[in-house]
Amino acid sequence: MISARRSFLNWNEALKAFTRGLKAQVESDKPLAGLNTFGTGGSARLFAEVKNSEELAQLVKIAHENNVPYFMLGGGSNLLISDQGYDGLVIKNSILGLSAESEIVTAGAGEKLEDLVHFAADNGLAGLEFATGIWGTVGGAIHGNAGAYGADISAVMVSAQLVDEYGNIRDEELPYFEFHYRYSKLKKTHEFVTRAKFALKKGTHDLIQARISEIMDLRTDKLPKDEKSAGCFFKNILDARMEYGKLPAGKLLEEIGAKEIHFGGAAIFSKHANIIINTGSATSTDIWKLASILKMKVKEKFGIELQEEITYLGPF
């Protein structure tokens, strides 16, 4: 999530503003390549890690008051960071916590989505199996309404605690988020999730675990094991005639010969045409240029404008 504000030019003064009475530590020139799944990108002008709602609220409030642009970083998936880095504050969401009461599970936004899936299964609660193997955090999953196999996070979430750009903390129910395919209202409001509640159903642990294993096997066969990537790069196209109501972007990419196309150190994964991989030497620019070529070829052949599932951070 990005706050669209003018850049704060006096960064020394900005850093001082953050350090006055702030519980979270703010760093300068933090390398980001190790904090995203592509393993590329430059540094953040400022960086802080938050572990509770109050720290986040305080950070965001100071950023807002000082016109400092900011971005929330979760697990670093679905993200391509510019080689020039980000001229603003990157906030790493490390708000953790998992608990279950009856059929309601509460999760901190910084928890890995995969850990939430297994926590629910261990408590005999069904409904999150579709999220098996989806990279990223709970907060990121809500922000982008993550999903697979005909289900998404909006089907099970009931409420979430948010921090707005003024540092206010409040709870909102499901309708507020205006969920639809790979979208939530948070992409427009630039509010941040700190924790969320999910309504699940009692189930049999063995049956839940069997479904998790089934989905994991399907994903393992399609996802890179060693190469760095962000998972699927482009959104599927809504089409009621197709399974799960979507035309896979990967199908279109297969038909333009995407697997034979590469740029610099960026290439297409051999088992899935909608996954761009870093072969080891790719820059973010390589990945962005390869994605641009793919979009152009799909547009020329099918008249369809592919939309990125990933977020671009910094100048491209």
Q: How do residues 27-67 score in pLDDT, each as one tens digit?
A: 999 999 999 999 999 999 999 999 999 999 999 999 998 88
**d(C-alpha 54, C-alpha 279), whole Å:** 40
59-118 pLDDT, tens per residue?
999 999 888 999 999 999 999 999 999 999 999 999 999 999 999 999 999 999 999 999
Tell the burial category of 185 from Cβ atoms under 10 Å away from its Cβ (0-12, 13-18, 19+).
Answer: middle
Whether 106 and 22 share a structural domain: no
Residue 35 belongs to domain with CATH number: 3.30.43.10
Among 59, 93, 127, the domain boundary falls at 93
Question: Could you tell me if residue 155 is inside a domain?
Answer: yes
Whether 32 and 115 share a structural domain: no
The label of the residue with tokens 């069904």 reads 126
| Total residue length of the chain | 316
pLDDT, mean of residues 175-199: 96
Residue-range definition of the domain harbouring residue 232: 225-313
Whether 198 and 287 share a structural domain: no
Whether 110 and 38 share a structural domain: no
How many Cβ atoms are within 10 Å of 26's Cβ, its own excluded? 20
Question: Could you tell me if residue 261 is inside a domain?
Answer: yes
Q: Is the pLDDT of residue 3 over 50?
A: no
235-282 pLDDT, tens per residue?
999 888 888 888 999 999 999 999 999 999 999 999 999 999 999 999
Question: Could you tell me if residue 213 is inside a domain?
Answer: no
Whether 111 and 192 share a structural domain: yes
